[in-house]
Amino acid sequence: MIFKEEKVFKDPVHKYIYVQDQLIWDLINTKEFQRLRRIRQLGTSFFTFHGAEHSRFSHSLGVYEITRKIISGFERAAYEDWPASERLLSLCAALLHDVGHGPFSHSIEKVFKVMHEDWSCRIILGDTEVNEVLRRVSPDFPQKVANVICKTYEKPIVVGLVSSQLDADRMDYLLRDAFFTGVNYGTFDIDRILRVVRPYQGKIVVKESGMHAVEDYLTSRYQMYWQVYFHPVTRSSEIILRKIFLRARDLHQQGYSFGFFLHPLDDLLANTLTVEDYLRLDESFIQTTFMQWTMEKDPILADLCRRFLERKLFKYVTLDQVDEEAVNELKSLLDSLGADSTYYVEMDFPTDQPYDVYQPGGSKEKTTPIYLLTEKQELVEISHVSEIVRSISGVHKGKVQLFYPADLLAKHRAAVTPSVAKLLGS
Amino acid sequence: MIFKEEKVFKDPVHKYIYVQDQLIWDLINTKEFQRLRRIRQLGTSFFTFHGAEHSRFSHSLGVYEITRKIISGFERAAYEDWPASERLLSLCAALLHDVGHGPFSHSIEKVFKVMHEDWSCRIILGDTEVNEVLRRVSPDFPQKVANVICKTYEKPIVVGLVSSQLDADRMDYLLRDAFFTGVNYGTFDIDRILRVVRPYQGKIVVKESGMHAVEDYLTSRYQMYWQVYFHPVTRSSEIILRKIFLRARDLHQQGYSFGFFLHPLDDLLANTLTVEDYLRLDESFIQTTFMQWTMEKDPILADLCRRFLERKLFKYVTLDQVDEEAVNELKSLLDSLGADSTYYVEMDFPTDQPYDVYQPGGSKEKTTPIYLLTEKQELVEISHVSEIVRSISGVHKGKVQLFYPADLLAKHRAAVTPSVAKLLGS
Amino acid sequence: MIFKEEKVFKDPVHKYIYVQDQLIWDLINTKEFQRLRRIRQLGTSFFTFHGAEHSRFSHSLGVYEITRKIISGFERAAYEDWPASERLLSLCAALLHDVGHGPFSHSIEKVFKVMHEDWSCRIILGDTEVNEVLRRVSPDFPQKVANVICKTYEKPIVVGLVSSQLDADRMDYLLRDAFFTGVNYGTFDIDRILRVVRPYQGKIVVKESGMHAVEDYLTSRYQMYWQVYFHPVTRSSEIILRKIFLRARDLHQQGYSFGFFLHPLDDLLANTLTVEDYLRLDESFIQTTFMQWTMEKDPILADLCRRFLERKLFKYVTLDQVDEEAVNELKSLLDSLGADSTYYVEMDFPTDQPYDVYQPGGSKEKTTPIYLLTEKQELVEISHVSEIVRSISGVHKGKVQLFYPADLLAKHRAAVTPSVAKLLGS
Amino acid sequence: MIFKEEKVFKDPVHKYIYVQDQLIWDLINTKEFQRLRRIRQLGTSFFTFHGAEHSRFSHSLGVYEITRKIISGFERAAYEDWPASERLLSLCAALLHDVGHGPFSHSIEKVFKVMHEDWSCRIILGDTEVNEVLRRVSPDFPQKVANVICKTYEKPIVVGLVSSQLDADRMDYLLRDAFFTGVNYGTFDIDRILRVVRPYQGKIVVKESGMHAVEDYLTSRYQMYWQVYFHPVTRSSEIILRKIFLRARDLHQQGYSFGFFLHPLDDLLANTLTVEDYLRLDESFIQTTFMQWTMEKDPILADLCRRFLERKLFKYVTLDQVDEEAVNELKSLLDSLGADSTYYVEMDFPTDQPYDVYQPGGSKEKTTPIYLLTEKQELVEISHVSEIVRSISGVHKGKVQLFYPADLLAKHRAAVTPSVAKLLGS
């Protein structure tokens, strides 16, 4: 059902988000989608950029809106290469692609080896309100939506709209994260991008004259990586978060009796969550748990939780090269001070990150690269013609950073050996 | 101690927030101030404007920054009427004026008759990190800061910076709420305002040539009231929140045994919170409690909590006049359907709101009005010369709105009497 | 002919301006329309706001674009009250409504009693490229376009799109003038306005729920009047411009032999311009003439032209009441200094201005007021329900300003009598 | 003299421009500086981007303001490497660096081999109001200002503020041109740049942590080159402008008797302008001349002037390689049609342009490169550490474009030979 008069959401990034279909409206009103309001888009980045408190709810609406605009451009121009019947499927996949995100996903995924895409599909296919709404279209519609999200759908052009190197997901989060952090490096001319994308032979491609607009989008992306996503203060808070979960899991396995322990924490720690349990997890639950754990008798768990809530993070030092011996000395020192170095030191290698400003494609990459459509109707992968894109493509080696509790060492200055002092640059 | 090189926070509203004093830096890093990250600036407004997820932490930094800019303008011009020695006190009061806000303050304050200003003072004077930092200045410094916030400080110009009808608090929240909701009615030319304010005879006044800038600020305020602060969807979510607390308190008083009941909920419901307990309350705690209560055996409490978390709000109808009989019929109907009308119906009178777009002053008002300083060095209250300000001053009578569970009635259509149907315009 | 792929202009106010019809494209490329590039939108305002150098060319494109957006909204919703066949006519009238503007229109119109609307119609109906392009539609199409612009077209809804109190013309110039001056008081939420206008019984009306958006638009208008359009420095430069033309006309009538005098200056001064001559006038022509006239032997003409080009404007003093005697004394003084007071003094009454922030309608006003369409499908004129609109409606009495050459008096201080000194507040 | 209360200009790019010194105020009010209002910042770019009608007046104020902000930051931090006594000199040089720009400088400079920097110095040192104001500081002050502008001043740090690869000039024009064209690729975070520049050993350098901000500034620059400065439509209008001057000079040398020929056109064409004459040239003068020349009896001059005023520009075709023979055939064809190919065809090699997105330095470059100041107080040239800067540094080979009168050929289609048709891609 198409609304006679479209419904709108006021959105600070896109001004308005337009809903034209009852189906989309109903999906937004499911409890699984509403839950995304309680999960931040940027995890712990708000500790670095206090404006970054926006949720995955608003991002998901934004991805939907960009997809809607792209498709409606395709429809206006009546491009033959766009399969018009895939409109609703594309919109649903765009809206729901992040519905499986849990609280502080990036940190939790690392510890518990779960993937939010898998959870998105489990939620779409499970006994949920989302599934019920989707089934109204047809019995196999939920499966189709899941296939688009998991990139196994038969028509790659639909997958590419939601997941490619120039997809609605990336376009929205760059603009949105730039807006809320206040870091305006991330803005690019989305109106221009929307004017130059075309469906062509099963792909979303870009008119050659739009090359500079894509360069601008990719350099914005590059800037956001270094200014925001890789910011060491954010890394520090993520590390503390991971250490809390590690400590809790270790304690749980050791049979420690928690003062506060609410279901489904047990299943989370044991990695045996059901869909129903998973949906009960949100960032309120995690923060409330941490607040209670500040009163645990285990000093490490209590201290780490306090650090997280009160933003008493680890400091970091950037290392040109790693002096293993000095690091070991630092660890022993912390161990001796009661700060078990398993939980109080971390070496961070930025190249471990999924640093994919742009991947020109090849045998190993999974994500479709960006193609330009020349006036002669040929496709050229953008890094072949743009030197600036080439310069930011591929893997870039960042520096090693060492995170540690500087406050603790400050209290025991006498115990700090010269080589540790040198390591920490103090 | 003044920093050699100032520290900054990136802020999407003011671009940067500059910290020049160690004292301010230390206050920001206290756990009481960090707690404001877990309390939203606009309570439940995010249900209406999904971007409005910003916290009191960012607002408090903004109020501090505007105050800093005003004072630094006063210092540059070396105005004699500005008591230069009050700089640090003013900055501290600006930063801390909201430190006493609790979760969903506006709703909770109504139910439990607490005032956040009182809590701000209790926190500042209590056994807290904030108090400890302030005491470094002098033993009576915390008391002075509390006096400014409670408007009893001896120098009204310092009070006026933080609390008046053209204060740093209002200026920041208008700009910030406009930014995050995306409702750009709320923006006004703060640079211009900062250029036209002057200290004069114990007041902050405005150069006459700045009258239009103040008009613009007040019409922005007027617009934000009607577009954002009084939005009926936000009212609806606040009503549900209040009803949850009412139900919980009633159950608690009846000796109901809760499935989930975490300290200090007992003290909250009994209105016997200590400072330490109060500081443990945040919106995570409330949301987690509601999530657990969706599984309570009391159907009313469980249903209301579900409504809140899943945004299944009450619908509303605007009434030109109140047909008492029909309202009573509606209540009886809901009672008969198991939806106790004490918790499921609410009449809302917008004039009950603290609707103070602008109060020209007089015997009863507490807030200082806005004075223009003419070229002849006379003070004129702005509504005497501005017709547009006069038109939005004083009390404005809004319409009555009736909130009720439309979904429930839809399921029992046969039971709806004609006069109830007429009342609800259906 | 409709373009397969729309053409665009990059516009800093609307981002892009979309051209979908060959006809519109061809009109833009006529020499009469291109001439608008050499006529500033805000006349001499650039002397006050240096950014205000934008031309009527860009404004005309903007009016076209807003009209296009409104109509395309009407078409999408398929409103029955919109006569779909009038699309192209409306777009042409929107684009061409200002094509008759001459250089520094407001000043020249006052001196020579011409009206730009008349010239617009003469150009549209005359032997011009614009006429030729329009005739391709049908022989009577130019006359129809002229009728819309002169408000005599049979369908008032088409007239109302281009000329009413909420028309595309005003919406564009408010936004555009605000953008280029940097005075952001003038911005309002045009996206919201576009969402709430409706065709209804021969009028463009506003959904009742859009009332606050219209209030915001009207208060922006009010602010722009006082901040920009009535700015005394702009008034001063307009006065000098008028005085130059007065002096030139007087000299011409006296048979003075100009050192520089280019056709069609003669016809301009004699008020006998043909369309062909009129089109040769632009602001370059006027400025070049003034530059040459700085070398005229008539000292008054030469001095006034120098003042204009070098921005040595008259100063002004605001008078609460007019002391006729002192004004006469000032005039005599200037006469005696060789500065003929006919050209060197001016009393300015802002109420002489077409000050029409909003006119609620009535017997005498020519412009359609703004109607709200209630949920019960009734029309209410907005000032009946909005107190803020009422407060800025109708005629507002400004203060009298006296303009005079302060630099000259400064050189002859001894000659200034006490009552003149008092008059000028010095 | 320092103003007690600073004066301001409203500026759409920097919000406000602050004038604190009587000297700066007086310079702005000279007739030579006011003349910059009649010279556009971007020459003929307004034919491509209709918003680009801003003048060198507003740009000059902007350069002054950025310089003022940089210096005031240096003063606040009390850096020892900043020679505080050079403040006023730096501000004057910033304000006046473009005072020698003539109408459509880039085109005219090419034809007449003049340089605007030379004219700036001649104006500063000549018998002008600017010179008179500057001499009030000291008799040798004008020469000092000229030295800074001509880069011969003894203190390179002062020169670097106004002319280097990260100078106030470039920062303002990037932001300003982006603002007025509406091409937002050109925006970068100037607040951040202002926070990371430092005076250091006679240079303005950048704190290492600001590297990404500089990358962002340079990629913005790169984008503006390709989107705006090299836009082929702008190139086309510049070519026509140059051809008009060439034709006029040729006619003048041949003793042609012009119907309209105003002094100092003779000196312009003969390259013998005095300062006084030069100051009389502005874009109004040029446009008025062209308007009159549309009525010249020489058909080539008349046609080219008409093309310019009515924007009937040459079309262009991009060539991968140049088929000399076909080009010659095209020339012969045009010659035979009465369109002398000297004036009607142009090959344009973008690499002929001063394309200096960034030059890393070396023996031949004149402009100081950008240095980063590491934490160890070492200077590193930015392209050594930034791959993205490296990718846009140095000379980039653009494609050849051929400009020709497509409209003329369209009228003589039969005469177009196959190889010409192939050359033009038609």
User: Which CATH number characterizes residue C409's domain?
Assistant: 1.20.1250.30
User: Under 8 Å CB-to-CB from B240, ≥6 apart: which residues?
Assistant: B304, B307, B308, B313, B314
Q: Which of residues 205-264 of B touch A (CB under 8 A)?
A: 262
Question: Chain C contact for D58, CB < 8 A?
Answer: yes
If you count them, how many residues does chain B have? 426
Does A364 map to a domain? no
Report pLDDT for A363. 44
In a shared domain, residues C83 and C188: yes
Of all residues in chain B, the one with the smallest CA distance to C221 is B216
Q: Are residues D13 and D38 in the same domain?
A: yes
Number of domains chain C contains: 2
Among B196, B230, B264, residue at a domain's last position: B230
Token digits for A41? 């888009």
Q: Does residue D77 belong to the interface with chain B, where contact is any CB pair within 8 Å?
A: yes
Contact assessment for residue A23 and residue A133, using Cβ atoms and an 8 Å cutoff: yes
- pLDDT attached to residue B381: 94
pLDDT of D113: 79
Q: Could you read off the pLDDT of B294-303 as tens digits, one per residue?
A: 999 999 999 9
**Do both A205 and A289 map to the same domain?**
no
Query: Quick check: is A283 in a domain?
Result: yes
Chain C residues touching residue B185 (CB < 8 angstroms): 189, 212, 216
Tell me if chain C has a CB within 8 Å of the CB of B105.
no
Residue where a domain terminates, one of A307, A328, A349: A307
Average pLDDT of span D318-336: 93
Of A185, A189, A391, the CB nearest to D391: A391
| pLDDT at B363 (0 to 100) | 44
Statement to judge: residues A77 and A181 lie in one domain = yes
Q: Return the SS3 of B363.
A: coil
CB < 8 Å to C282, chain D: 287, 291
- B77 lies in the same domain as B108: yes
Q: Are residues D160 and D249 in the same domain?
A: no
Instruction: Tell me the average pLDDT across B265-274.
Output: 92
User: Residue C354: its pLDDT value, please?
Assistant: 43
Of chain B, the percentage scoring pLDDT greater than 90 comes to 80
A289 and A330 belong to one structural domain: no
> Number of CB pairs < 8 Å for B and C?
42
Whole-model pTM: value is 0.95
Edge-first strand listing for the sheet containing B203-207: B197-200, B203-207, B371-373, B379-381
What is the CA A302 to chain-centroid distance, rounded?
28
Residues A368, A374: Cα–Cα separation, whole Å: 18
CB proximity B8 to D under 8 Å:
yes
Q: Spell out the residues 6+ positions from residue D89 whose beta carbon is closer than 8 angstroms to its own.
A: D141, D144, D145, D148, D158
The predicted structure's pLDDT at residue B405: 97
What are the tens digits of pLDDT across the range B157-189?
A: 999 999 989 999 999 999 999 999 999 888 899
- Which residue ranges in chain C fall short of pLDDT 50? 353-355, 363-365
Give mean pLDDT, residues B399-413.
94
Reference B225, options A424, A398, C388; nearest CA is: C388
Confidence at B365, pLDDT banded by 50, 70, 90? very low
* D191 touches A at CB < 8 Å: no
Beta-strand pair A315-319/B400-404:
unpaired
Q: Give CA–CA dist B223/B175, Å, rounded.
A: 12
pLDDT at site D387:
86
> What average pLDDT is seen over chain D?
92
Residue A25 parent element (H or E): helix A22-28
B contact chains, 3+ CB pairs < 8 A: A, C, D
Is residue B245 situated within a structural domain? yes
For residues D142-167, give the mean pLDDT: 94
pLDDT, tens digit (0-9, with 9 covering 90-100), for D294-317: 999 999 999 999 999 999 999 999
Helix, strand or coil, per DSSP, at residue D360: coil
Same domain? C112 vs C200:
yes
The CB density around residue D66, as the number of other CB atoms within 10 Å, is: 25
Same domain, C185 and C259: no
Of B223, B388, B391, the CB nearest to C216: B223
User: What would the mean pLDDT of D96-107 be, rounded to a whole number?
Assistant: 93
Show which of B230, B263, B297 is a domain's final residue. Answer: B230
**D189 reaches A (C-beta below 8 A):** yes
- Domain match, C242 and C198 both: no
Contact between A107 and A45 under an 8 Å Cβ cutoff? The reply is no
Q: What is the pLDDT of residue D396?
A: 62
DSSP states of D222-278 as a string?
HHHIIIIIT-HHHHHHHHHHHHHHHHHHHHHHTT---SS--TTHHHHHHT---HHHH
How many Å apart are CA C238 and CA C44, to the nearest integer? Answer: 7
The pLDDT value recorded for residue A354 is 44
Structural domain harbouring D408? 314-354+396-426
What is the rounded CA–CA span in Å between residue C219 and residue B222?
Answer: 11
Q: Which residues of chain A have pLDDT under 50?
A: 353-355, 363-365
| Mean pLDDT (whole number) for B397-405 | 86
pLDDT for residue C395: 61
Cβ of B189 within 8 Å of Cβ of C184? The answer is yes
Supply the DSSP symbol for B314.
P
Instruction: Name subunits touching D (3+ CB pairs < 8 A).
Output: A, B, C
How confident is the model at residue C397, as a pLDDT?
A: 63
pLDDT band at B357 (very low <50, low <70, confident <90, very high): confident
DSSP letter assigned to residue B364: S
Kindly state whether C47 is in contact with chain B, defined as any CB-CB distance less than 8 angstroms. Answer: no
Q: What is the CATH number of the domain that holds B44?
A: 1.10.3210.10
> Does D26 touch chain C if contact means CB atoms closer than 8 Å?
no
The mean per-residue pLDDT over the stretch D120-133 comes to: 97
Place of tokens 């009527």: C56
pLDDT at position C365 is: 47
Tell me, yes or no, whether A9 and A110 share the same domain. Answer: yes
Inside any domain, residue A31 = yes
Q: pLDDT tens digit string along B190-214?
A: 999 999 999 999 999 999 999 999 9
User: Is residue B215 included in any domain, yes or no?
Assistant: yes
From CA D295, how far away is CA B346, in angstroms rounded? Answer: 80
Q: Is D375 at the interface with chain B, CB within 8 A?
A: no
Neighbours of chain A (3+ CB pairs under 8 A): B, C, D
Examine residue B416 and state whether it is found in any structural domain, yes or no: yes
Cβ within 8 Å, pair C311-D287: no
Does B392 have pLDDT greater than 90?
Answer: no
- Quick check: is B373 in a domain? no
pLDDT at A3: 82
Which residues does chain D have within 8 Å of residue A222's beta carbon, measured at their own beta carbons?
Answer: 388
Residue B140 within any structural domain of the chain: yes
Please report which confidence band the pLDDT of residue D397 belongs to, taking 50, 70 and 90 as the band edges.
Answer: low
Domain identity same for D322 and D334: yes
Tell me the pairing of strands B203-207 and B371-373. parallel
Q: What is the pLDDT of residue C320?
A: 82
Partner A contacted by C191 (CB < 8 A) = yes
